[in-house]
């Protein structure tokens, strides 16, 4: 048994050890514990070679087969066990070589040749090579019909590749994968998609061991998230391997000593689920965990006062005030522009968003390829806003303002506070606000599932560096959230998605971003900075805008 | 007694059947849609349609209920929409945590509550009585959630005597056989793990047990006061029985009937209170999972868990009724 290493500060540890000793004495008639004897030595070796890193997420992972995951907590664990062909440059969202050392895309954008890293093996000793790569691509393409193809399971494959070998959508963009050498794989698409390489950095497209997948098949018709493979034998090439998933309690990862790169510095990483942000904060302060994600903005000062280290992720999200153009007079561009002039983004940021947040001037953060340096802007000018409203015949305008309650999203940490600032600003230019607050689930139903809403708060956190992942997601098609039909914009976005090079795509999206800001479907407010917090004993945590955070460089000192 | 027990057990069937209908309708009457909740802010109409069809939510309500009933008779409670795990599996996995917590809470309440109530009754009108009554009044009115946060703030964060969250230190590599962590630690002789689980239970159990403690104190005090004035107690004392014998055989035994009823009724309160306590202490029992299931409209989990809880509540009350018979033979006869 491994005893708590730094689990408790002085007093509690002494009390615990004394009491544990007393409990053992009470049972002294019993034979010695077999595990205790072996555990003592592991405790000693653990201290000498790196110890544990205990991290608190907000929920348990849904599955440890990342292909069938789309939630951040499953991906957090998957990033330690698995690696994809493509990673990201530290601290950015830009694609970088990982299991593929390089790649080359043909001029028509359809064929990509990957040169693979030599000397890599999966943690079950299966060799990583071109055949393994094609096995994975074919596995994704041949996702069984039924539950496995549902949008909440194979979400990213469905979104990126847009179809499977069989099932409802068979018109996807994947054509084939061919192992043209031991370390060379050629992937062919049937339609160009410039975001292909960046999308491969998603954990859903991690390389998984063909041997393990074949050894633990998912019975037909059953939920693949819950098979033996996904529960107990997820096998990748990453710096950690699964030690145990103690359901309802923790996921324990052990260092992969055979890792091809720099081995992890800690012996083990433990991920626990603590849903309440306040409880996560308390667990860190009391030493129960070494770090946690999704720090509430209100807790930042308290944590800093306690000597905790705050690490900010570069913002890869956008919060906006959306206009529902299906509701009059929001279909009038003059009214939308007037509202834009009434909003003081700096005040919204300083009064309701975490420190370090920057106001947004378009519907994507500046880290994304296609971010436009020059877009139409609407300066804060309440007098002009009043005048414009009067010109549009809307001097006594009443607007329904929908906002969610009791929810904190990375792009919207305190919706109530943001609503209050905006409400004051809009009322200052003579707009009467009719507030409509709903709990998150109902709120989504009202704002995205019906056209019965007015202006509203929403946003998005990007998954990978592709403007389509922001602009395409928001405005790629007619939706009830925005309530407008703009075939020209939809066409522009569809064409941009199919461009063959990142350079062409960047140019196209720069223009589209400016067009969108002229059309003004909403007001981009800010890109809030998400924060993580760590005990002062933790060093080496590399924050990533797309949460590509691998813990191999983390150290935990006494 | 056997007939009584069997009759009560048989009565459970229509009760649970009725409850299953009520639950089914009530849960679906909640605003919100599990499909939308599952797919988040960028759900597409097609995606929502697909999920609704996959789980049968697009079918008429009666058809959905019949399908659910068909599952129920084979003891299949379906699988969670959020994580695909069978409801029975997650319940059996988490229930020991809640039982362990409720058990420690009730032990705390009984072990402290009965002596305090007894002492208050024996010294009625004295300082002890006043202190106990005032304390129990505070205990009854203080919300569980508030008390839990207060206890955590003082004893876990400020004084650092106890941990703030979870059931066991994440750094402990303990063996879990039954998922009752204290019991597991004793069975496997990993005493440090058992002690660690106990240390993790103290604050949640005190928070959860405070209201039952206050109620038990008040009921015990009232009940003992009443029995102390009974003729048979006076007779027993007058005939020279040892005071301890009078106390044990005549006073406590007779005073315990209403106390036992109260303890039985507290089980429901403990299970509902556990939802809040588990949330504050990140104690992974059925409470926190149920809480998430409500937010995410996870119909199978909500239906399954509430039915399980109702079944357990009914069984505990049955056990209390049987306990009556054991304590008081008059009940058996009637």
Tokens of B40: 């988040």
Residue B82: inside a domain, yes or no?
A: no
Backbone angles phi, psi at A244, to 5 degrees: -160, 145
- CATH fold of A34-293+531-556 reads D-Maltodextrin-Binding Protein; domain 2 (3.40.190)
CB contact under 8 A, A449 and B36: yes
Q: What is the pLDDT of residue A3?
A: 36
Tokens of A381: 């000018």
Residue B252: inside a domain, yes or no?
A: yes
Chain A residue closest in CA terms to B91: A248
A-proximal residues of B, 281-310, CB under 8 Å:
281-282, 284, 288-289, 291-292, 295-297
d(CA B270, CA B103): 9
Same-domain check for residues B96 and B32: no
Chain A residue closest in CA terms to B85: A226
On whether the CB atoms of residues A432 and A396 are closer than 8 A, the answer is: yes
- Measured in angstroms, the CA of A288 and the nearest CA of chain B are apart by 7
- For domain A317-527, the CATH architecture is Roll (3.10)
d(CA A461, CA A365): 10
Where does CATH 3.40.190.10 sit in chain A?
34-293+531-556
The two counts, helices (H) then strands (E), for chain A are 18, 23
Residue B212: inside a domain, yes or no?
A: yes
A chain contacts of residue B296, beta-carbon cutoff 8 Å: 441
CB contact under 8 A, B165 and A5: no
Please state the rounded mean pLDDT for residues B303-308. Answer: 90
Chain B residue closest in CA terms to A474: B42
Q: What SS3 class is residue A270?
A: strand
Residue B317: inside a domain, yes or no?
A: yes
- Measured in angstroms, the CA of A102 and the nearest CA of chain B are apart by 33
B-proximal residues of A, 19-78, CB under 8 Å:
19-20, 23-24, 27, 30-33, 35-36, 39, 42, 52, 54, 59-60, 62-63
When CB atoms are compared, the residue of A11, A60, A282 closest to B164 is A282
- Measured in angstroms, the CA of A28 and the nearest CA of chain B are apart by 10
By the CB < 8 Å criterion, does B126 face chain A? no
On whether the CB atoms of residues A358 and A531 are closer than 8 A, the answer is: no
Q: What is the pLDDT of residue A33?
A: 37
Q: How many of the other CB atoms lie within 10 Å of CB of A534? A: 23
Range of the domain at B315: 87-333
When CB atoms are compared, the residue of B41, B159, B193 closest to A1 is B193
Q: What's the angle, vertex CA A85, arms to CA A82 and CA A90, rounded to 5?
A: 80
Same-domain check for residues B31 and B124: no
CB contact under 8 A, B84 and A223: yes
Same-domain check for residues B32 and B172: no
On whether the CB atoms of residues A269 and A253 are closer than 8 A, the answer is: yes
Same-domain check for residues B301 and B259: yes
A chain contacts of residue B170, beta-carbon cutoff 8 Å: 7, 52, 54, 250, 270, 272, 288-289
Q: What is the pLDDT of residue A48?
A: 39
CA distances to A267, A519, B18 from B153, rounded to whole Å, are 32, 51, 43
Q: Number of folded domains in chain B? A: 2
Where does CATH 3.10.105.10 sit in chain A?
317-527
Model ipTM over 0.90: no
Tokens of A284: 């860190």
By the CB < 8 Å criterion, does A3 face chain B? yes
Please state the rounded mean pLDDT for residues B133-145. Answer: 85
Label residue B62 exposed, middle or buried (CB < 10 Å: 0-12, 13-18, 19+).
exposed
Pick from B212, B141, B198: which is nearest to B169 by CA? B198
- Measured in angstroms, the CA of A406 and the nearest CA of chain B are apart by 11
On whether the CB atoms of residues B284 and B278 are closer than 8 A, the answer is: yes
Is residue B326's pLDDT more than 80?
no
By the CB < 8 Å criterion, does B5 face chain A? no
B-proximal residues of A, 376-405, CB under 8 Å:
none
**Please, which residues bridge with residue A57 across strands?**
A273
Question: A347 or B313: which carries more pLDDT confidence?
Answer: A347
In total, the C-beta contacts within 8 angstroms joining chain A to chain B are: 210
Same-domain check for residues B125 and B35: no
**Helix A333-342 with A415-428: angle, nearest 10 deg:** 110
Question: B140 or B156: which carries more pLDDT confidence?
Answer: B156
Residue B15: inside a domain, yes or no?
A: yes
Last residue of a domain, one of B73, B104, B132: B73
Q: Which one-letter DSSP state was computed for residue A412?
A: B
Last residue of a domain, one of B73, B107, B129: B73
Long-range contact set of residues A277-281: C-beta below 8 Å, sequence gap at least 24: A277/A58, A277/A408, A279/B164, A279/B165, A279/B279, A279/B280, A279/B281, A279/B282, A280/A56, A280/A58, A280/B282, A281/A533
A101-135 confidence digits (pLDDT tens): 999 999 888 999 999 999 999 999 999 999 999 99
Q: What is the pLDDT of residue B330?
A: 67
Same-domain check for residues B198 and B319: yes
By the CB < 8 Å criterion, does A549 face chain B? no
Residue B80: inside a domain, yes or no?
A: no
Same-domain check for residues B19 and B151: no
CB contact under 8 A, A152 and B39: yes
- Measured in angstroms, the CA of B50 and the nearest CA of chain A are apart by 7
SS3 content of chain A, % helix, strand, coil (to 5): 35, 20, 45
CB contact under 8 A, B157 and A12: no
Q: What is the pLDDT of residue A39?
A: 34
d(CA B171, CA A214): 33
Same-domain check for residues B202 and B58: no
Chain B residue closest in CA terms to A151: B47
Residue B37: inside a domain, yes or no?
A: yes
Tokens of B167: 């059931």
Q: How many of the other CB atoms lie within 10 Å of CB of B138? A: 12
By the CB < 8 Å criterion, does A18 face chain B? no
By the CB < 8 Å criterion, does B42 face chain A? yes
On whether the CB atoms of residues A35 and B175 are closer than 8 A, the answer is: yes
Q: How many of the other CB atoms lie within 10 Å of CB of B256? A: 21
By the CB < 8 Å criterion, does A270 face chain B? yes
CB contact under 8 A, A33 and B48: no
When CB atoms are compared, the residue of A270, A442, A458 closest to B170 is A270
CA A74 to chain centre: 10
When CB atoms are compared, the residue of B32, B168, B281 closest to A442 is B32
Q: What SS3 class is residue B233?
A: helix
Cis peptide before A447 (omega within 30 of 0): no
Pick from A318, A322, A320: which is nearest to A455 by CA? A322
B chain contacts of residue A150, beta-carbon cutoff 8 Å: 50-51, 54
A chain contacts of residue B162, beta-carbon cutoff 8 Å: 12
By the CB < 8 Å criterion, does B64 face chain A? no
A chain contacts of residue B196, beta-carbon cutoff 8 Å: 4, 16, 20
By the CB < 8 Å criterion, does B314 face chain A? no
Residues of chain A with pLDDT under 50: 1-11, 13-18, 20-49
CB contact under 8 A, B37 and A444: yes
Residue where the block lists tokens 């979104």: A159
When CB atoms are compared, the residue of B37, B54, B172 closest to A441 is B37
d(CA A499, CA A192): 6
Question: B100 or A37: which carries more pLDDT confidence?
Answer: B100
Task: Tell me which of A150, A230, A470 to substitute to probe the interface with B (most B C-beta atoms closer than 10 Å).
Answer: A150
Same-domain check for residues B68 and B115: no
- Measured in angstroms, the CA of A35 and the nearest CA of chain B are apart by 8
B154-186 confidence digits (pLDDT tens): 999 888 899 988 898 988 888 888 889 999 999
CB contact under 8 A, B164 and A286: yes
d(CA A150, CA A396): 47
Chain B residue closest in CA terms to A46: B171
Pick from A30, A141, A46, A123: which is nearest to A81 by CA? A123
d(CA B11, CA A461): 53
Is residue B249's pLDDT more than 60?
yes
Q: What is the CATH number of the domain that holds B158?
A: 1.10.3720.10
CB contact under 8 A, B47 and A440: no
Question: A363 or B127: which carries more pLDDT confidence?
Answer: A363
On whether the CB atoms of residues A335 and A554 are closer than 8 A, the answer is: no
Q: What is the pLDDT of residue B71?
A: 86
> What sign has the CA pseudo-torsion A407, A410, A412, A416?
positive
- Measured in angstroms, the CA of B18 and the nearest CA of chain A are apart by 28
Same-domain check for residues B182 and B94: yes
When CB atoms are compared, the residue of A8, A20, A458 closest to B41 is A458
Last residue of a domain, one of B45, B73, B101: B73
Q: What is the pLDDT of residue A10?
A: 44
Tokens of A168: 């409802």
Same-domain check for residues B57 and B97: no
By the CB < 8 Å criterion, does A232 face chain B? no
Same-domain check for residues B139 and B48: no
Which residue intervals of A306-434 are DSSP H helices? 333-342, 345-352, 382-391, 415-428
Q: What is the pLDDT of residue A35?
A: 36
- Measured in angstroms, the CA of A31 and the nearest CA of chain B are apart by 9
- Measured in angstroms, the CA of B200 and the nearest CA of chain A are apart by 11
Q: What SS3 class is residue B18?
A: helix
Backbone angles phi, psi at A81, to 5 degrees: -90, -35
On whether the CB atoms of residues A119 and A173 are closer than 8 A, the answer is: no
Tokens of B176: 């879990």
Q: What's the angle, vertex CA A246, arms to CA A240 and CA A249, rounded to 5?
A: 105
Pick from A307, A309, A137: which is nearest to A208 by CA? A137
B-proximal residues of A, 340-369, CB under 8 Å:
none
On whether the CB atoms of residues A312 and A297 are closer than 8 A, the answer is: no
Task: Give A512-545 as a DSSP string.
Answer: HHHHHHHH-SEEEEEEPPPEEEE-TTEE-----T
Q: How many of the other CB atoms lie within 10 Å of CB of A245? A: 20
By the CB < 8 Å criterion, does B146 face chain A? no
B chain contacts of residue A249, beta-carbon cutoff 8 Å: 166-168, 284
Is residue B78's pLDDT more than 80?
yes
């Amino acid at each position: 048994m491994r005893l708590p290493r730094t689990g408790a500060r002085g007093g509690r540890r002494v009390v615990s050890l004394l009491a544990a000793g007393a409990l053992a004495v009470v049972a002294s008639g019993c034979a010695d514990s077999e595990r205790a004897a072996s555990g003592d030595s592991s405790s000693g070796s653990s201290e000498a070679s790196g110890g544990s890193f205990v991290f608190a997420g907000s929920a348990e992972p849904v599955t440890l087969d990342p292909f069938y995951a789309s939630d951040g907590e499953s991906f957090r664990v998957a990033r330690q066990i698995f690696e994809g062909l493509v990673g990201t440059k530290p601290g950015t969202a830009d694609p970088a070589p990982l299991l593929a050392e390089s790649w080359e895309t043909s001029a028509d954008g359809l064929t990509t040749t990957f040169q693979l890293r030599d000397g890599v093996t999966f943690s079950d000793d299966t060799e990583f090579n071109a055949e393994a790569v094609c096995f994975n691509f074919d596995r994704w393409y041949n996702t069984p019909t039924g539950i496995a193809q549902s949008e909440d399971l194979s979400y990213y494959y469905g979104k990126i590749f847009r179809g499977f070998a069989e099932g409802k959508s068979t018109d996807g963009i994947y054509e084939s994968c061919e192992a043209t050498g031991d370390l060379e794989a050629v992937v062919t698409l049937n339609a160009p998609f410039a975001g292909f390489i960046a999308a491969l950095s998603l954990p859903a497209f991690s390389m998984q061991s063909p041997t393990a997948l074949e050894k633990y098949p998912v019975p037909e018709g059953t939920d693949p998230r819950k098979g033996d493979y996904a529960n107990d034998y997820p096998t990748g090439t990453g710096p950690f391997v699964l030690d145990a998933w103690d359901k309802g309690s923790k996921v324990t990862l052990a260092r992969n000593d055979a890792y091809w790169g720099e081995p992890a510095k800690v012996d083990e990483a433990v991920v626990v689920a603590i849903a309440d942000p306040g409880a996560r904060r308390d667990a860190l302060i009391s030493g129960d965990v070494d770090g946690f994600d999704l720090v509430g903005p209100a807790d930042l000062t308290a944590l800093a006062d306690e000597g905790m280290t705050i690490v900010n992720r570069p913002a890869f999200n956008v919060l906006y005030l959306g206009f529902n153009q299906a509701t009059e007079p929001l279909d009038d561009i003059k009214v939308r522009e007037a509202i834009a002039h009434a909003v003081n983004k700096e005040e919204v940021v300083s009064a309701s968003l975490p420190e370090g947040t920057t106001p947004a001037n378009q519907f994507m953060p500046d880290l994304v390829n296609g971010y436009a340096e020059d877009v139409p802007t609407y300066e804060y000018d309440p007098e002009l806003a009043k005048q414009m409203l009067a010109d549009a015949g809307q001097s006594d305008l009443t607007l329904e303002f929908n906002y969610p309650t009791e929810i904190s999203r990375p792009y919207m940490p305190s919706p109530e506070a943001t609503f209050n600032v905006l409400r004051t600003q809009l009322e200052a230019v003579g707009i009467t606000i009719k507030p409509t607050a709903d709990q998150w689930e109902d709120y989504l139903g009202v704002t995205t599932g019906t056209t019965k809403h007015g202006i509203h708060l929403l946003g998005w956190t990007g998954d990978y560096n592709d403007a389509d992942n922001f602009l395409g997601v928001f405005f790629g098609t007619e939706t009830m959230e925005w309530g407008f039909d703009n075939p020209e914009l939809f066409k522009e976005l569809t064409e941009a998605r199919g461009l063959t090079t990142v350079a062409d795509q960047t140019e196209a999206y720069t223009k589209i971003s400016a067009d969108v800001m002229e059309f003004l479907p909403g007001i981009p407010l800010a890109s809030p900075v998400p924060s993580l917090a760590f005990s002062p004993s933790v060093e080496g945590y590399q924050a990533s805008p797309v949460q590509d955070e691998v813990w191999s460089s983390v150290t935990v000192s006494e | 007694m056997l007939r009584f027990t069997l009759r009560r057990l048989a009565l459970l069937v229509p009760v649970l059947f009725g409850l299953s209908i009520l639950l089914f309708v009530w849960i679906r009457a909640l605003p919100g849609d599990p499909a939308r909740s599952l797919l988040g802010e960028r759900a597409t109409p097609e995606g929502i349609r697909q999920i609704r069809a996959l789980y049968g939510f697009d079918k008429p309500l009666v058809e959905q209920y019949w399908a659910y009933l068909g599952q129920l008779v084979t003891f299949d409670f379906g699988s969670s929409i959020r994580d695909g795990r069978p409801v029975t599996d997650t319940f059996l996995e988490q229930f020991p945590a809640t039982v362990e917590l409720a058990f420690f809470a009730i032990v705390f309440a009984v072990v402290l509550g009965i002596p305090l109530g007894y002492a208050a009754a024996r010294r009625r009108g004295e300082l002890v009585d006043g202190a106990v009554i005032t304390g129990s009044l505070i205990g009854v009115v203080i919300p569980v959630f508030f008390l839990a946060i207060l206890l955590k703030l003082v004893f876990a964060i400020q004084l650092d005597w106890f941990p703030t969250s979870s059931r066991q230190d994440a750094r402990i590599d303990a063996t879990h056989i039954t998922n009752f962590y204290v019991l597991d630690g004793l069975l496997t002789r990993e005493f440090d793990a058992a002690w660690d689980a106990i240390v993790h239970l103290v604050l949640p159990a005190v928070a959860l047990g405070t209201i039952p403690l206050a109620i038990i104190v008040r009921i015990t005090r009232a009940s003992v006061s009443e029995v102390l004035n009974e003729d048979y107690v006076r007779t027993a004392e007058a005939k020279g029985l040892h005071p301890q014998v009078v106390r044990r055989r005549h006073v406590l035994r007779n005073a315990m009937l209403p106390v036992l009823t109260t303890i039985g009724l507290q089980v429901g309160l403990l299970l509902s209170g556990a939802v809040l306590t588990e949330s504050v202490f990140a104690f992974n029992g059925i409470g926190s999972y149920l809480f998430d299931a409500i937010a995410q409209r996870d119909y199978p989990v909500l239906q399954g868990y509430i039915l399980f809880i109702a079944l357990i509540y009914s069984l505990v009350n049955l056990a209390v009724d049987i306990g009556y018979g054991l304590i008081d033979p008059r009940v058996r006869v009637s």
